[in-house]
Structure 1
Amino acid sequence: MRVLVTGADGFVGTALVARLLRDGITRAGDVSELLLVDRQFGGLRSGAPHGDVRMTELAGDFSRPEILEPLLSKTVDVVFHLASMPGAQAETEPAEGDRVNMWGTLALFERLAKQATEHGRAARVVFASSVAVYGDSLPATMDEHTAARPTISYGTHKLIGELVLADWTRRGKLDGRSLRLPGIVARPERSSGHGSAFMSQIFRMARQGQAYTCPVSPSATAWWMSRGRCIDNLLHAARLSQEGLHAGRVWTPPVLHLSVEEIVDALVRRFGSFELDYAPLDWIERVFGRQPPLIDHRAVEAGFRHDGTIDELVGNALELESVQPRHRPGLA
Structure 2
Amino acid sequence: MLLAITGAAGFVGRAVVRHIEAQQPGVDLLLADRELAGFDAHETLEGDLSDPAIIAALTAPRIDAVLHLAALPGGATEREPATSRAINLGVPLALIEAMRGRRLVIAGSIAVFGGALPDQMDDATVPTPASVYGTHKRMVELAFADAVRRGAVSGLALRLPGIVARPAAAGGFGSAFLSDIFHSALAGTPLRVPVAADATSWLMSVRCCATNLIVAALGERTAQDAVTLPALRVTIGDLVAELARHGDVSGIRFEEIPATRAMFGSYPDLATPRADTLGFRHDVSLAELVEAVLADL
Aligned positions of 1:57-76 closer than 5 A: 57-76=44-63
Following TM superposition, by how much is the alpha carbon of 1:320 offset from its aligned partner in structure 2, in angstroms?
5.5
> Cα deviations across residues 254-305 of structure 1 (Å, max 9, x unaligned)?
1110110000000002224421112222221110011111111111222211
Following TM superposition, by how much is the alpha carbon of 1:238 offset from its aligned partner in structure 2, in angstroms?
2.5
Q: Which moved more, 1:89-98 or 1:15-24?
A: 15-24
AA in 2 matched with 1:6: T
The residue number in structure 1 matching 2:254 is: 278
Asked whether the equivalents of residues 68 and 104 of structure 2 are also in contact (C-alpha less than 8 Å), the reply is yes
> Cα deviations across residues 209-268 of structure 1 (Å, max 9, x unaligned)?
1111111111110001000000111112234433xx5532x2111111011000000000
The residue number in structure 2 matching 1:2 is: 2
Aligned positions of 1:50-89 closer than 5 A: 50-52=39-41, 55-89=42-76
Asked whether the equivalents of residues 222 and 290 of structure 1 are also in contact (C-alpha less than 8 Å), the reply is yes
Q: Please give the alpha-carbon distance, in whole angstroms, between the structure 1 residues aligned to 2:84 and 2:10.
A: 17
- Percentage of identical aligned residues: 40
The residue number in structure 1 matching 2:13 is: 13
Asked whether the equivalents of residues 165 and 176 of structure 1 are also in contact (C-alpha less than 8 Å), the reply is no
The residue number in structure 1 matching 2:150 is: 171
Following TM superposition, by how much is the alpha carbon of 1:63 offset from its aligned partner in structure 2, in angstroms?
2.8
Query: Unaligned regions of 5+ residues in structure 1, if any?
Result: 117-121, 322-332
Let me know the Cα RMSD of the aligned residues.
1.7
Q: Please give the alpha-carbon distance, in whole angstroms, between the structure 1 residues aligned to 2:9 and 2:296.
A: 22
Secondary structure at 2:75's aligned position in 1?
A: helix
Which residue of the other structure, out of 248, 263, 267, is the alignment partner of 1:287? 263
The residue number in structure 1 matching 2:292 is: 316
Aligned positions of 1:1-332 closer than 5 A: 1-24=1-24, 28-29=25-26, 31-32=27-28, 34-42=29-37, 50-52=39-41, 55-112=42-99, 116=100, 122-189=101-168, 191-242=170-221, 246-248=223-225, 250-319=226-295
Q: Please give the alpha-carbon distance, in whole angstroms, between the structure 1 residues aligned to 2:265 and 2:178.
A: 10
AA in 2 matched with 1:62: L
Q: Please give the alpha-carbon distance, in whole angstroms, between the structure 2 residues aligned to 1:291 and 1:77.
A: 37
| Residues 273/153 of structure 1: CA separation in 2 closer, same or farther (3 Å cut) | closer
Following TM superposition, by how much is the alpha carbon of 1:75 offset from its aligned partner in structure 2, in angstroms?
2.7
AA in 2 matched with 1:141: Q
Secondary structure at 2:144's aligned position in 1?
A: helix
Following TM superposition, by how much is the alpha carbon of 1:89 offset from its aligned partner in structure 2, in angstroms?
0.1
Secondary structure at 2:295's aligned position in 1?
A: coil
Asked whether the equivalents of residues 254 and 296 of structure 1 are also in contact (C-alpha less than 8 Å), the reply is yes
Secondary structure at 2:213's aligned position in 1?
A: helix
AA in 1 matched with 2:92: T
AA in 2 matched with 1:280: E
> Cα deviations across residues 77-123 of structure 1 (Å, max 9, x unaligned)?
111100110111001111111111111211121122xxx2xxxxx22
Q: Please give the alpha-carbon distance, in whole angstroms, between the structure 1 residues aligned to 2:93 and 2:151.
A: 16
Q: Please give the alpha-carbon distance, in whole angstroms, between the structure 2 residues aligned to 1:157 and 1:130.
A: 10
Normalised by the length of structure 2, the TM-score is: 0.95
Q: Please give the alpha-carbon distance, in whole angstroms, between the structure 1 residues aligned to 2:166 and 2:30.
A: 24
Asked whether the equivalents of residues 63 and 108 of structure 1 are also in contact (C-alpha less than 8 Å), the reply is no
> Cα deviations across residues 40-77 of structure 1 (Å, max 9, x unaligned)?
224xx5xxxx421xx22222222311212234343311
The residue number in structure 2 matching 1:324 is: none
Asked whether the equivalents of residues 166 and 176 of structure 1 are also in contact (C-alpha less than 8 Å), the reply is no
Secondary structure at 1:104's aligned position in 2?
A: helix
Normalised by the length of structure 1, the TM-score is: 0.85
Query: Unaligned regions of 5+ residues in structure 2, if any?
Result: none
Q: Please give the alpha-carbon distance, in whole angstroms, between the structure 1 residues aligned to 2:80 and 2:295.
A: 33
Secondary structure at 1:155's aligned position in 2?
A: helix
**How many residue pairs align between the two structures?**
297
Asked whether the equivalents of residues 242 and 287 of structure 2 are also in contact (C-alpha less than 8 Å), the reply is yes
Secondary structure at 1:217's aligned position in 2?
A: coil
